[in-house]
Amino acid sequence: MKNIQVIDGAENCAYDIFAATEKEFALIFPAGQDIEFIDDFVRRVGKKRAGKVLAALRRRRQNKKEIQGLHGTLFYELAFKKKYYPTKKDNEAIANPSKKDNKSP
């Protein structure tokens, strides 16, 4: 199982973490990604399939104090953050997308 943190645009966002099977994780985060945006995921796999995967995840909420690693981040309602993650890889995030070669440490 791999752990996915969900971050949404709500003021009271809880930053919940859910366990995903290897297959679910690979579907949400293809090609080595560890960042995804819900609209891109749904567009890529279809509304029905995405709904099934997300329903399964919701049944596997994890206690943050007990997890062993965080493997991916799924953003809801935060499309404006896409400019910071052009490769959808956390370690390649751009601190300030208006400046060239300004990557986060």
Q: What is the pLDDT of residues 92-102, one digit of tens each?
A: 999 877 755 55
Look at residue 100 in the predicted model and tell me its pLDDT: 55
What tens digit of pLDDT does each residue of 12-43 get? Answer: 889 999 999 999 999 999 999 999 999 999 99
Q: Are 36 and 29 a contacting pair, CB within 8 Å?
A: yes
Where exactly are the structural domains of the chain? 2-92
pLDDT reported for residue 101: 54
pLDDT tens-digit map of 37-73: 999 999 999 999 999 999 999 999 999 999 999 999 9
Enumerate residues 6+ apart whose C-beta is below 8 A from 71. 2, 3, 4, 25, 34
